[in-house]
Amino acid sequence: MRIGVTYDLRADYLAQGMSEEESAEFDAEITIASICEALSGLGHEPVRIGHIRALTQRLVQGERWDAVFNICEGLKGYAREAQVPALLEGYGIPSVFSDPLTLALTLDKEWTKRIVRSCGVPTADFATIESPADIDSVDLPFPLFLKPVAEGSGKGVDERSCVKGPAELRAVALDLLSRFRQPVLVETYLPGRELTVGITGTGPDAAALGVMEIKATPKGTQSGYSYVNKEHWEDHVTLHLVEDAEAHEAAEVALKAWRALRCRDGGRVDLRSDADGHPHFLEVNPLAGLNPHHSDLCFLAGFKGLSYQQLIGLILASFLKRHPELASSARAAA
């Protein structure tokens, strides 16, 4: 198959003046090169496209692909991760990973928690602050955890995120409202283990790739998986594959959330346990990072003995199962 690859290259946005934190969700050159190499190794023809504007230009010029491997994070708006798949749907070109509806929903952590809770997935009690006037209306017991409602890569999370009283709540909420210009999610703080579950597959075929525990070192942010911890994971956190009873429960919770949100092909679900050791849903990453040297999903695959190409192969196998017409043509070409 001829597979287009869409992405936002971090170096491009840094060159345009974005800060390191602003560009944290975008991809490194090694990620794009590794994806293309894996697709080639699986017998396909990868075609580098780039961001949504490059994609739009090439579509208007008449270029087409059998499918698109999309990892674009997008630039603006709560539905920014949904923009590329929505555009491709309009042109009838299937894309790997979740559809526009799921990608638009899951970037908003509050709406996502409402959906998974309605489906019986355990998640911490929460409230949302949309303006300073909402701060005094928060009626949850301290300590609480605050973060922007629609950011990734730990943006907005630091040592101040866990607040222990009204004065801290007000100060951190006002800071986040000002810095990110979006609502602030307020959650009951979960004091247990921080876990992430890698998932491949779609619907009933979805399976947990593995469960990884994330622990902060003395250098790292202690209250949560922050932007700094993610950027400097080598000495800010330790990462371990875990397979105990709590990990098995985490995998079950993650799969229940994954199916409830209709996520597809591959990604991650982040969880944190309560004081009794029961994992609770935090958020889902339907466009999980794929940097072979930096991303949690790739670390998990490595812990399970899978190569990078095998991980991409699992993701692509799920996509092709959803598109048997492409699967048959791919077999014929092979």
What is the average pLDDT score of the chain?
A: 93
Cα separations (Å) of 318 from 43, 263, 311? 16, 11, 11
For residues 180 and 234, the model is more confident at 180
Of 18-32, 198-212, 279-293, the one with minimum mean pLDDT is 18-32
Count Cβ atoms below 10 Å from residue 42 Cβ, excluding itself: 18
pLDDT at residue number 18: 84
Tens digits of residue pLDDT in 55-92 = 999 999 999 999 999 999 998 888 999 999 999 999 99
State the burial class of residue 86 (Cβ atoms within 10 Å of its Cβ: 0-12, 13-18, 19+): middle
User: Given this model, what pLDDT does residue 16 score?
Assistant: 86
CA nearest neighbour of 332 among 313, 52, 324: 324
Q: What is the average pLDDT across 276-286?
A: 97
Instruction: Choose the CATH number for 2-100 among 1.10.10.10, 3.40.50.20, 3.20.20.80, 2.70.170.10.
Output: 3.40.50.20
pLDDT at 279 over 70: yes
Higher pLDDT, 196 or 333: 196
What CATH fold (topology level) applies to the domain 194-303? D-amino Acid Aminotransferase; Chain A, domain 1 (3.30.470)
Q: Give the pLDDT mean for 18-41.
A: 91
Residue 323 has a pLDDT of 95
List for the chain the helix, strand, coil content (%; round to 5).
40, 20, 35
| Phi then psi dihedrals of residue 57, to 5 deg | -60, -45
Write down the architecture of domain 125-188 according to CATH: 2-Layer Sandwich (3.30)
When pLDDT is averaged across residues 41-49 and rounded to a whole number, the result is 97
Higher-pLDDT residue of 280 and 19 is 280
Phi, psi of 123 (to 5 degrees): -150, 150
pLDDT exceeds 90 at position 182? yes
Give the residue among 300, 296, 53 at the shortest CA–CA distance from 152. Answer: 296
pLDDT at 153: 66
Average pLDDT estimate for 188-209? 97
Domain ranges for the chain, please list them: 2-100, 125-188, 194-303
Which of 36, 32, 52, 56 shows the shortest CA–CA distance to 44?
A: 36
pLDDT at position 219 is 74
Whole-model pTM: value is 0.92
**Domain pair 2-100 / 194-303, same fold:** no
| pLDDT 10s digits, 238-258 | 999 999 999 999 999 999 999
Give the residue-averaged pLDDT of 6-18.
Answer: 89
